[in-house]
Amino acid sequence: MASLPDHFDRPVHIAVIGGTGLAKIEGYTPVAALNPTTPWGNPSSPITIALHNGIPIAFLARHGLHHQLAPHEVPARANIAALRSIGVRTIIAFSAVGSLREEIKPMDFVVPDQIIDRTKGIRPFTFFEGGVVGHVGFADPFDAGLAGVVQKCADAMKGDGVVLHQGGTIICMEGPAFSTRAESHMYRSWGGSVINMSALPESKLAREAELAYQMICMATDYDCWHTTEDVDVAMVMKYMDANSKNAKHLVGAVLDELCKQENSDMVLAKHWEGSAQGAVKFMTKPEGRNPEAMKRVEYLFPGFWDN
Ligand SMILES: CSC[C@H]1O[C@H](OP(=O)(O)O)[C@H](O)[C@@H]1O
Ligand SMILES: Nc1ncnc2[nH]cnc12
């Protein structure tokens, strides 16, 4: 990594955020390792740029290269802002999750379409504060177009034993300790499908940054509501390792497809363009705006205040 250039002179439209058990992207030749400094600090790890059929892809390890960042320590604002600053408009985010449903078995994949927030407000969760207010729509936190691509790729891998559940509600808890049994049962009664500690604020910040964002989850355990063993880290890692081949193949297939559509409206997130900027521009009156907060918004959206 140290010998790679720290710059890359083309915009990179597609990124993967890797989670537990997926701290590196293998099988691609890295061509650069970037470490942009954003108004929110530095990202969790250097952003590795790799070429895939000539198309650049960015990879970021959510918990750092050595999994040294707890879920509440992940610098999500720096991660999302840094990715946007290098041109990223589409993020595929991978996550190891507990299953809250009998039919979602360990090693199954889930493409969630909803989130319930059970973080505790201790994680910085917005770009729009400190003198510039903005309220983005978050009714559907993930990207339906990207979810469709993941589904198509998983369908083609059914013969390899890949099982994918389309849709479902992810509970994002604070952690780092796992849930109590009462909580686990409560989440099931709320209709939760899976549980993790990283869907938020990552997905919300991606929406604020007008990026297309879809999480791909892989179940590693039945949390602690089931009659089988309660979750622990060893169990999560055991199932991540056992299914890492399929996880990497699935992410690889999704990247193949996204690279083919590198300049499509879907990958360039044209459908989100202007949504956050509209939410910001009309909220705080010019006389109430803090110049420092304005500069931070300018980092996300260069030229934002020009007209
Ligand atoms: C090691 S179990 C809990 C840990 O695993 C998940 O990580 P990620 O979402 O980054 O794959 C979960 O969210 C927790 O952070
Ligand atoms: N049971 C669980 N709860 C929260 N995050 C998880 N990640 C993997 N399994 C989990």
Q: Where are the domains of the chain?
A: 14-243+251-306
ipTM: 0.99
C-beta 95 within 6 A of ligand 1: yes
What is the tens place of the pLDDT at every residue in 129-187? 999 999 999 999 999 999 999 999 999 988 888 999 999 999 999 999 999 999 999 99
Kindly identify the ligand whose nearest atom is closest to the C-alpha of 74.
1
CA distances from 296 to 39, 56, 70, 107, 187 (A): 6, 26, 25, 40, 36
Is 184 annotated for ligand binding? Answer: no
Closest atom of ligand 1 to CA, residue 172:
13
Q: What is the pLDDT of residue 104?
A: 98
**CATH top-level class of 14-243+251-306:** alpha beta
pTM for the model: 0.97
Show the DSSP H helices in 210-243 as ranges: 233-242
Residues of the chain with pLDDT under 50: 1
C-beta 300 within 6 A of ligand 2: no
Q: What residue has token string 């590693």?
A: 220
Residues 6+ apart with CB under 8 A from 300: 81, 84, 127, 208, 209
Q: What is the pLDDT of residue 21?
A: 80
Q: What is the pLDDT of residue 3?
A: 85
Which tokens is 236 given? 């999560």
Cα gap 93→251, rounded to integer Å: 10
Catalytic sites, residue numbers: 221, 223
C-beta 19 within 6 A of ligand 1: yes
Is 44 annotated for ligand binding? Answer: no
302 alpha carbon to ligand 2 midpoint, in Å? 37
Is 223 annotated for ligand binding? Answer: yes
C-beta 171 within 6 A of ligand 2: no
Residues 6+ apart with CB under 8 A from 46: 1, 33, 34, 35, 65
Cβ pair 127, 204 in contact under 8 A: no
- The residue whose CA is least distant from atom 9 of ligand 2 is 98
